[in-house]
Structure 1
Amino acid sequence: MTEPTVAFIGLGVMGYPMAGHLATRGGRKVVVYNRTPEKAARFAAQFSAKTAPTPRLAAEGADFVFSCVGNDDDLRQVAIGADGAFHALKAGAVFVDHTTASAEVARELYSHAQQAGFGFIDAPISGGQSGAENGALTVMCGGDAEDFARIEPVVAAYARACRLMGPPGAGQLTKMVNQICIAGLVQGLAEALDFATRAGLDGAAVVDLIKNGAAQSWQMENRHKTMLAGEYDFGFAVEWMRKDLGICFAEARRNGASLPVAALVDQFYAEVEKMGGRRWDTSSLMARLRK
């Protein structure tokens, strides 16, 4: 049996390595589209892939189409815009969206897909650039069980964990939970490391000990050294986190949830942006305490 043909739309810091894993595992034929054609051409040369000038042309004949773009508007553009992929998807294909977007747009696109006879899975991701590069992302999915069963072995090319969380939009809602958790964790870690330093302790030694106890977290393991060194020119950008938190706040207004800590951390990130840290890693909350 031949491997399915896949298309990937959006070759950013996450999409580029994810599409690369699809191209290098299982002999899949990959067609890519990127808003900047030069990046698509570089990808094609590196992975012996094909490029397309529009999302619509990228999706022609594909069994699975993946997208990883910036926000709701970008997603609508590449999916249902004038040259969107939905206009070319064949019956029985599945569109898998890895963008961190609203649950509302996920349900909207699912409805479009159902009317056209193909599947749609909202599948935001967590794990950062390193997770994408190492094929170790966590993928949170919403949609129909039959479509999920089809895409799961394909997504395994770059996923450490992939789970169907519920109906359309459930993947995006799960990602919101993820971002709410991270906001509080990073602020708590920043305060703790700043406290340790001001108390005259060796921050790295403190973390090396307490990471074995109840305070352990991915943020602690992967960010404490760079936070102590004041290095933030990498990773998940502050402006992206604020975009994600904005999605969380909008959903909370709809469902009545209270997010006081997340709202406070968002204000702190606004201060970091004023310090020139719009593109700094989210761990730059430490810089605000040290300014």
Structure 2
Amino acid sequence: VMGDISSAIVSDIPEQTCTGSRIEPEVEVTLDGKTLVRGVDFRVSCTNNIKVGTATATIIGIGDYEGVIRKHFSIKKAPTPIFADVDYSSWYGDAVTFVAEKDLVTGYSDSGLFGVGNALTRAQLATILYRNANPDASPDFRPRNTTGMPDVEGFTWYTAGVNWAVENGVINGYADGEGNRVAFGPDDSMTLEQLVTAIANLSADEEDLPGTGETAAILRPFRDRWSVSPWARPSMAWAAQKGLVAGYDEPDGKHLRPSENISRERAVVILMRAFELGILE
């Protein structure tokens, strides 16, 4: 005679903390005074168990048991990390909190630091934008390299983000003289014009980008406009028009510094501004 697990007693499942990965809590099931064994008497299938909210554990009888019973449990948001190297009263402090609360930047795994003063790398930006576009993706997902670029390592913390960035045309990699994409440069520092171009590739339609004449007019106020790479000029003009970048005030006027390596703190300020302007969602 099969036991019917649908009449079993399932203990309350404690509130869980969101980790970004699927949560599979322990479940205690008792039937007719007997404690059943997971994997022998029942298995558990969980749904809605990644994001903050209410998840469901479905207990399914196996072996000598049949039937199904469901138990709900809550998932709470993980505390926003506090980085020891961040001055939260500074010009970038709010932006660090903003991206940390959205789980876009988690800091360095070996030190727990944000990395103030360090340059943002191309792999890091790809990962940040990938996390925003794929909020349900597990941080443990480490696929093989599908970019076709030999300098991209497979099965690393950044592989999923770089695969996504290349596949979606967000960050295209470096091209040779014939236009073939030959390298991604995952550890290379991200420049301002590269960062802006990646955001434009992700968020702007072709018709949103200004034409040649309009681009020249928009960039005219910047003293160093001629230092913007030709491939980046439409994106930089679009970003200036949107208010995403405003340039630096210097004695002789405004400067964009398009080839400047972007620090991690400046990058998150630009990203926060992109969300506030509705460019990123």
Q: TM-score interval w.r.t. the shorter chain?
A: under 0.3
**TM-score between the two structures when normalised by the length of structure 1:** 0.26
Give the structure with the larger strand fraction. 2
**TM-score between the two structures when normalised by the length of structure 2:** 0.27
Which structure has the greater CA radius of gyration?
2
